[in-house]
Structure 1
Amino acid sequence: MIHTIQPRSGTAFVVNKGQRLKVIDPEGEQVADLYAFNANDKTEFMSSGRSLDYNESLHFKTGAKLYSNLSQVMFEIVEDTVEDHDFLLTPCSVDTFKHFYPDETPVPGCYGNLVAAFADYDIPAHHVGTTFNTFMNVDVDETGKIAVLPPKSKAGDYTVFEAKMDMIVGLTACSAGESNNFRYKPIQYEIIDAPGEVTR
């Protein structure tokens, strides 16, 4: 079953070990912020630093692994039609909008949407860290300057993550203009059960 996350919103759900999470960009050029906690130990959570270190790369594509703060693999990317994502930048927030978009009315952003979604699992706000920004196109030039560019994803593109542990997963349809070429669109996702089990 394919679920739709409405523009500028987010949700949280459980993904079990062996299941696959398919994140879909139905209209193109839309970022989805992904974050996760070990369902059996919420002190273990997705780590940008560990993932960048152990993959020895800023680029994440098929075969890349997303690690926890305890150096355990949480997800492996097993299919990817885009192979262009970001794991450097924090999820957008009210403060992001005040900083980069001072003429706009601030919205909760991905951080606020994740905080609200994870609250249903008794996960406090300060535990939400740097997200895996699926489909986000971030360029780092030779001087170290960071630029957020329009995503390369086209309508129907997707990334499939295989769960390596039971997790509570948060996912958003990103709210920041620069990240989505100043258009706000939905994100879709599907949880695909392990072989031999019934897909839901």
Structure 2
Amino acid sequence: MEPGGPQGPLKRKESNMDKHIIPARQGAAFRVAEGQRIRIETPKGAQTADFFAFNAQNIGEWLSPNHTWAAHFRARPRQGDAFLSRFRRPMLDFTEDGADGVHDMMIPACDHVRYEFFGHEGHHPNCAENLHIAMRRLGYQIDVVPQPVNFFMDVSAQPDGSLVSPPNSVKPGGYVLLTARMDLICAVSSCPFDLPTDSWAINASGGPTELAVSVS
């Protein structure tokens, strides 16, 4: 069993399923073969999962929320949608939504500049860094942090065009199930955002919590 904490996610093998617990504020990457399914769950609820996917044969092709919403004419993914790459090719199917549609495709991954913007001083865990670390653990060096799909994150545009993120309403055990349309490297970050901000409550009020991920 791989250690948890700073070393990475806890992992256990059950028959043909790999199960992982991603600790709060950390990330991990997984190989997902064409036809396999990846299930992402927020066990305690209200925890955003930044999700990234790369073509395992060419990591220069990655999942693009922008191209996905252009194809489906909506900025929130729905069960039955296909997630497209930046080359407009289907990478995954949104097979099952167990989180009542509370997902976002507009907000970029948090990084150190984002926390500085909110007045935080010094280092703060962030999704961009989590992605780099997770990909390096699998032997990949990336130069770009793509726009993620933010599962379990509630962001909406107001009539005046402003964006708000009300208190996260995703219940404990909320999940999504995705099916790979090609061989992929998928990465998931338990978003570390925990700063007190008006109208911008990304995660639970008590702070970030773990995510459960399985590949089968």
What is the TM-score of this pair, normalised by structure 2?
A: 0.84
Which residues of structure 1 form unaligned runs of 5+? 193-200
The residue that corresponds to 1:181 in the other structure is 204
Shift of 1:129: 1.1
What is the TM-score of this pair, normalised by structure 1?
A: 0.90
Shift of 1:179: 1.1
User: Deviations for 1:139-183, whole angstroms, at most 9, x for unmatched residues?
Assistant: 111111011223221111110011101001110111012310341
Task: Among all aligned residue pairs of Structure 1 and Structure 2, give the percentage whose two residues are the same amino acid.
Answer: 27
SS at match of 1:154: coil
Shift of 1:121: 3.9
The residue that corresponds to 2:110 in the other structure is 92
- Count residues in correspondence: 191
The residue that corresponds to 1:74 in the other structure is 91
Whether the 8 Å contact between 1:109 and 1:174 is mirrored in structure 2 is: yes
Alignment counterpart, residue 146 of structure 1, candidates 163, 166, 171: 163
Which letter does structure 1 place at the counterpart of 2:125? Answer: P
Asked whether 1:127 is paired with 2:144, we answer yes
* Aligned counterparts of 2:168 and 2:78: Cα–Cα separation in 1: 15
SS at match of 2:143: helix
Which letter does structure 2 place at the counterpart of 1:181? Answer: A
Shift of 1:57: 0.5
The residue that corresponds to 1:44 in the other structure is 61
Which letter does structure 1 place at the counterpart of 2:213? Answer: Y
Which letter does structure 1 place at the counterpart of 2:105? Answer: F
Whether the 8 Å contact between 1:65 and 1:77 is mirrored in structure 2 is: yes
Asked whether 1:55 is paired with 2:72, we answer yes
* Aligned counterparts of 2:69 and 2:98: Cα–Cα separation in 1: 21
Alignment counterpart, residue 125 of structure 2, candidates 103, 108, 111: 108
Asked whether 1:11 is paired with 2:28, we answer yes
Shift of 1:81: 1.4
SS at match of 2:155: strand
Which residues of structure 2 form unaligned runs of 5+? 1-17, 195-200
* Aligned counterparts of 1:190 and 1:121: Cα–Cα separation in 2: 17
Question: Does 1 or 2 have the higher relative contact order (CA < 8 Å, sep 6+)?
Answer: 1
Which letter does structure 2 place at the counterpart of 1:92? Answer: C
Shift of 1:112: 0.5
Whether the 8 Å contact between 1:4 and 1:189 is mirrored in structure 2 is: yes
Asked whether 1:28 is paired with 2:45, we answer yes
